[in-house]
Structure 1
Amino acid sequence: MTAIAPAMGTTEVFLIALTIILAVPYLVWRLLRTDYWAPLVVVQIIGGILLGPGVLGAAFPDYYAFVFNPQVIGSLNGIAWWAVMMFVFAAGLELDLPDAWANRRETAITAAGALITPLLFGAAAAALLLQTPGWIGPKGSYAQVVLGIGMACAVTALPILVLLMEKLGIFREPLGQRILRYASLDDVAIWGVLALILVDWERVGRQGIFLATFAVASWAVRALFRRLSENDRWYVSLIWLAMVGFAADWSGLHFMVGAFLAGAVLDAQWFTRERLDGFRQFLLLAVMPVFFLSTGLRTKWDVGGLAVFGAAFLFLVASVAGKLVGVRIAGRLLGWARGEASIIGWLLQTKALIMIIFVNVLLDKGIVTNETFTALLLMAVMSTMLTVPLVTPRLKALAKPTLH
C-alpha cells in the first residue's frame, strides 16, 4: 500500500470511497432483490456498518486506512452533515399540525400510547443494561442515557414510514393519513425530548437567547415566505436552514435540533407536493448514502460483539413490544376495527433514519458510547426490516391495498 498511496491524491481516493458507498449497497439490493424485507435505505445502513472499522477495517486494515483516511473522512463528514440537515428539515416540513389538531382526541391518545409505552419499556431495558459498565459516554449521566435509550426505542422514522406506506399502497388511504398524524405528533415530542436531554446548564443563557431569537425570526421568515415565489422559497429555505442549524449548535443544543425546527415552522403547502417528494427522493439517492457510511464508520464492538448484539436484541424487544402494547391500548380506548392496532403498531415501530440521527446526536455529545450507539443502530435496522413482511399479510387480512 505504501507504493500506491503516494500516487493518488485526496480527490482520487475520495472518489474511490464515493464509488464504493454508492455502488455496493445498490448492487446488493438490486441483485439479491431484497426490497421486500430490506429496502434500499436499510441495505445502505447495513452497508455503512460493514464498511466501517468493525468489519472492513478489521478484515483489511491497510486498504481501509488507505481509502478512508482522515482527509477523505473529513470530506465525507461535511457532506453527511449537510445531507442529514436537509433530510431532517424535510421531515419538519412533513408535519401537518392543523390536521392533527382537527383530530386531536384520537391523535393525542394514539400518539401518547405509541410514545410513552415504548419509552418506558426502553428506559427499563436501559436500566437493566447499565448495571454493567461501558454504555455511558464520557459526558453523559445515568439519567440522560436512560432517557436517551428510552426515547430511541419510542422513535418512529416519519420519512421512512412515508416510503414504506407508499410501497404498501396505503399512504393516500384514510388509514395511511391517520398513521401519518400519529407519527407527526410523536416527531415533535422526539425533538423536544432531545432538547431536554441536551440542556446544558452552563449554556442555558445561550439556549434562552436562541429560543427567543428563533421565535422572532420564525415570525419574520413566515411573513417573508408568503411573499415569495416557490423557486425563491426553496433557495431561502436553505439559507434559513443553515442559519438556524448554526444558532442551535452555538447555543449548546445541536444543529440537528435546529434543522428540525427550521422545517417545522414552515408550511408544507408553500411547496408543491411533487417537488417536496422529489427533494426527499434526491436526498435519499444522492447524499444520504454518505451519511449512512459516516454512521457505519462510528460502529465499534470494543465491549464485545456478543454484548453489543445482546443489547441490540434487548432494545428491539423493548421497542417493538412497547409500541404494540401502547397502540393496542389506544385502539381499545378508541374502538378500532379488529386488526387495525396491529398494522398501526408495526408501522409506527419503524426506526431507521430518524432514530439513527437521534442517537448520532447523543454520540456527538458524549452521552452514549460507541458500543451503545452500535447496539441502537442494529436495533433500528432490525426493527425496520420487520415492518413490510409483518404488515403485508395483516393488510391482506384487513382487505386493504398492499404491495404494488
Structure 2
Amino acid sequence: MSTIETFLLAMLLILSVPYLIWRLGNTDYYAPLVVVQILTGIVLGPGLLGAAFPEYYQLVFNTEVTNILSGIGSWAVMVFVWLAGLELDLQEAWQHRRESSITAGLAFSVPLLAGCIAAALMLWHSNEWMGSAAQDWQFIVGIGMACSVTALPILVLLMEKLSILRTPLGQRVLRYASLDDLVVWGVLAMILMDWHRLGRQATFIVVFIAATIIARRAFPRMPERDRWYAGLIWLSACGLFADWAGLHYMVGAFLSGAVLDHRWFKQESMDQLRHFLLLVLMPVFFLNTGLRTHWNMDGATVLVAAALLLAACVGGKLWGVQLAGKILRWPAQDARIIGWLLQTKALIMIIFANILLDRDIISHSSFTALLLMAIASTMLTIPMVAPRLIEHRQYS
C-alpha cells in the first residue's frame, strides 16, 4: 500500500471505530466520544492490539503515517489550547476575587499536594516511573500538577449536556476552572525551565511582553474576520518562539490566547471552532495519544498506579472544594457539585502528560497511568453530578 492509502486507512479507523462504539453502545452518559476515542487509541496501540498483532500495527501505523498523524494532532491541539486561553475571563474572576481565589486556590493546591505524595510513593517504588531527563522534584511536581488539572474545554461540553453552562452555577465553575488553568500552566512553565537555556527563556519573556502590548493594540482595530487569521499567525509565532526558548510549544499556544481578550471574538464563532476541531481534527490527537501508551512495566502495577493517582486527584479536589465551601458558607450540595465538575480532566491533563513525556520528565508507564486516571476521572463526572443537580434544583 502507498503512504496515502495507509494514511487513509488509519483515518478510517480513527473516525469510524470510536464513533460506532460511542453511538451503538450509547456510552455518552459514562463515556463521552472524546473518552471513547482515547480508549480506542489505547486498544489499537502497541501495548495491546499492536502486541497481539504486530504485523497489523506495522502496516497501518508505520513511521511515515504516525509522523503525519502526529503533525495533524499537534496543530489541532495547539488551536484548541489557544481557544482555552482565549476563553479565560479574568475580569469576571477579578470581580469575584475573594470567592474565586479561595475556591480555585484550594481546588488546585489540595489535589496538587495529594498528587505529589502519590508521585513520591511511585518514585519510592521504582525509578522507572521517572523520565531520564527529569530531576526528582520535576517528576513529583509534574505528577501533582496533573492531579490538579481541570479540563476547561471538556468541562464546557459537559456542562452544556447538563444544561447548566449559562446558569449562575455554571458561570461560577468556569471562573474557578479558569483560574486553575492559569496557575497550572504557570507551574508547567516552571517545571520545563531549562537552566541551560536561561538566556533564551529570558529573551522569550521580554519579547513576548513587548509583542503582547503591540498585539493588544492591533487586534481591536481589525475586522473580526481578520482577527481570526491574525490570531492563528500569533499562535504559530508564540508556539515556535516558546519551543525555541526551551519551553514547550503548548505553553506558547496557551499564552498566545490568554493575553488576548475573548470579547474581540464572537462567542458563537469560538463555539463553532471548538466543535469543528472536535469533529474534524481532535480525533487524530486523541487516538494518537492512545497510541503512545506502553506497558513496559507489569500491567497490574500500572493499574495500581492509576488507581492511586485517581484517589489523589478525586479525593484532593473534593476535599479542597469542600474546605472552600465551609470558608465561604456554601450549601453542602453546591460544594459537592462543584467539586465533581472541577474533576473533569480529559484533554488538558492529557496534553500536559504528552508535554511531560516529550520532555522526558515521565516515562511511558507513568504516561499510561496518567492517561487511565484522566479517563476514569472524566467518566465519573456526569454520573456523579447529574443526580446531585436534580436534588439541587428541588431545593433551590
TM-score range, shorter chain: over 0.9
Distance of 1:194 and 1:188 partners within structure 2: 10
Q: How many residues align?
A: 394
Aligned-pair distance for 1:138?
0.7
Letter of the 1:362 partner, please give it. Answer: L
Letter of the 2:137 partner, please give it. Answer: A
**Does residue 279 of the first structure (1) align with residue 273 of the second (2)?**
yes
Letter of the 2:272 partner, please give it. Answer: G
**Does residue 165 of the first structure (1) align with residue 156 of the second (2)?**
no
Correspondence for 1:47: 40
Correspondence for 1:108: 101
User: What does residue range 153-302 of structure 1 map to in structure 2 within 5 Å?
Assistant: 153-302=147-296
Distance of 2:192 and 2:324 partners within structure 1: 30
Letter of the 1:89 partner, please give it. Answer: W
**Does residue 148 of the first structure (1) align with residue 142 of the second (2)?**
yes
Distance of 2:49 and 2:218 partners within structure 1: 49
**Does residue 127 of the first structure (1) align with residue 124 of the second (2)?**
no
Deviations 1:94-145 (A, max 9, x none): 1000000000000000001100000000101111111122101010111101
Of the structure 1 ranges 51-60 and 196-205, higher mean CA displacement relative to structure 2 is found in 51-60
What secondary structure does 1:74 align onto?
A: helix
Distance of 1:49 and 1:204 partners within structure 2: 37
Aligned-pair distance for 1:296?
1.1
**Does residue 389 of the first structure (1) align with residue 383 of the second (2)?**
yes
- TM-score with structure 2 length normalisation? 0.98
Letter of the 2:141 partner, please give it. Answer: L
What secondary structure does 2:29 align onto?
A: coil
Letter of the 1:271 partner, please give it. Answer: F
Distance of 2:264 and 2:37 partners within structure 1: 31
Aligned-pair distance for 1:15?
0.4
Letter of the 2:152 partner, please give it. Answer: L
Distance of 1:100 and 1:25 partners within structure 2: 37
Distance of 1:338 and 1:318 partners within structure 2: 21
What secondary structure does 1:129 align onto?
A: helix
Distance of 2:155 and 2:173 partners within structure 1: 9
Unaligned segments of structure 2, at least 5 residues: none
Identity across matched positions, percent: 61
Is the contact between residue 325 and residue 332 of structure 2 (CA under 8 Å) also seen in structure 1?
no
Correspondence for 1:316: 310
Distance of 2:307 and 2:351 partners within structure 1: 20
Correspondence for 1:76: 69
Distance of 1:225 and 1:377 partners within structure 2: 37
Deviations 1:273-300 (A, max 9, x none): 1110000001111111111122111101
Of the structure 1 ranges 147-156 and 127-136, higher mean CA displacement relative to structure 2 is found in 127-136
Aligned-pair distance for 1:240?
0.6
Letter of the 1:230 partner, please give it. Answer: E
Letter of the 2:296 partner, please give it. Answer: D
Aligned-pair distance for 1:337?
1.6
What secondary structure does 2:221 align onto?
A: coil
Correspondence for 2:88: 95
User: What does residue range 49-68 of structure 1 map to in structure 2 within 5 Å?
Assistant: 49-68=42-61
Aligned match for 2:111, one of 113, 118, 122: 118
Aligned match for 2:4, one of 4, 11, 29: 11
What secondary structure does 2:20 align onto?
A: helix
Aligned-pair distance for 1:223?
1.0
Correspondence for 2:28: 35
Change (3 A) 1:265 1:274: same
Correspondence for 1:378: 372
When the two chains are superposed, the root-mean-square deviation of aligned CA atoms in Å is: 0.9
What secondary structure does 2:190 align onto?
A: helix
Distance of 2:158 and 2:350 partners within structure 1: 17
User: What does residue range 351-366 of structure 1 map to in structure 2 within 5 Å?
Assistant: 351-366=345-360
What secondary structure does 1:145 align onto?
A: helix
Distance of 1:202 and 1:367 partners within structure 2: 16
Aligned-pair distance for 1:338?
2.7
Distance of 1:338 and 1:115 partners within structure 2: 19
Moved over 2 A (4+): none
Change (3 A) 1:400 1:377: farther
What secondary structure does 2:125 align onto?
A: coil
Distance of 2:394 and 2:244 partners within structure 1: 48
Aligned-pair distance for 1:397?
0.7
Aligned-pair distance for 1:58?
1.0
Deviations 1:308-352 (A, max 9, x none): 000000000000000000000000000112300000000001100
Correspondence for 2:78: 85
Aligned-pair distance for 1:51?
1.4
Aligned-pair distance for 1:55?
1.3
Of the structure 1 ranges 391-400 and 338-347, higher mean CA displacement relative to structure 2 is found in 391-400
Aligned-pair distance for 1:400?
6.8
Unaligned segments of structure 1, at least 5 residues: 1-7
